[in-house]
Amino acid sequence: MHMTDVKETLAGLLSELRRGTIVMGVLSQLAEPQYGYSLVSLLEEKGIAVEPGTLYPLLRRLEKQELLESRWDTNESRPRKYYLLSELGKQVFAELQQEWRKLVASMEGLMNEPEGGDRDGTR
């Protein structure tokens, strides 16, 4: 396999992995109200790059699923829509965190196994 093939394959797999974790990243930052661009910046500061074109549809979907509440702030010269976890969103996020921790622990166990998958040296 050529190095460009490896890079392309890796880029695609990383994209899939990020897509699966972005919801949790977004929910984790909405205990306090945030508007779209502030959320993009906040996530980026914390090492999670999210394009606005990805974030805004996700925010709308999470609001439709009643995980987020929103309100418009028209006090500034430019109106901004702020998002915040709903009560349902807080409950769902807490459950997702538990599932995430279990998944990470399981994956750590898998990745720390010796090659061949046998821990005690027998087959």
Q: Quick one: pLDDT at residue 123?
A: 44
CA proximity to 68, closest of 84, 52, 55, 90: 84
Asked if the 2-111 domain carries CATH number 3.40.190.10, the reply is no
Question: Cβ(79)–Cβ(93) under 8 Å?
Answer: no
Q: Quick one: pLDDT at residue 4?
A: 83
Tokens of residue 29, six digits = 């930052």
Helix-strand-coil split of the chain, %, nearest 5: 60, 10, 30
Give residue-wise pLDDT tens across range 66-76.
999 999 999 98
Q: What is the pTM of this model?
A: 0.81
Q: Quick one: pLDDT at residue 116?
A: 62
Give residue-wise pLDDT tens across range 25-69.
999 999 999 999 999 999 999 999 999 999 999 999 999 999 999
| Distance from C-alpha of 118 to C-alpha of 28, rounded to nearest angstrom | 37
Phi-psi region of 32 (alpha: psi -120 to 50; beta: other; left: phi over 0): beta
Q: Quick one: pLDDT at residue 2?
A: 76
Mean pLDDT confidence for 75-98: 96
> What integer best gives the mean pLDDT of the chain?
91
Share of the chain above pLDDT 90, in %: 76
The domain spans of the chain are 2-111
| Distance from C-alpha of 67 to C-alpha of 87, rounded to nearest angstrom | 8
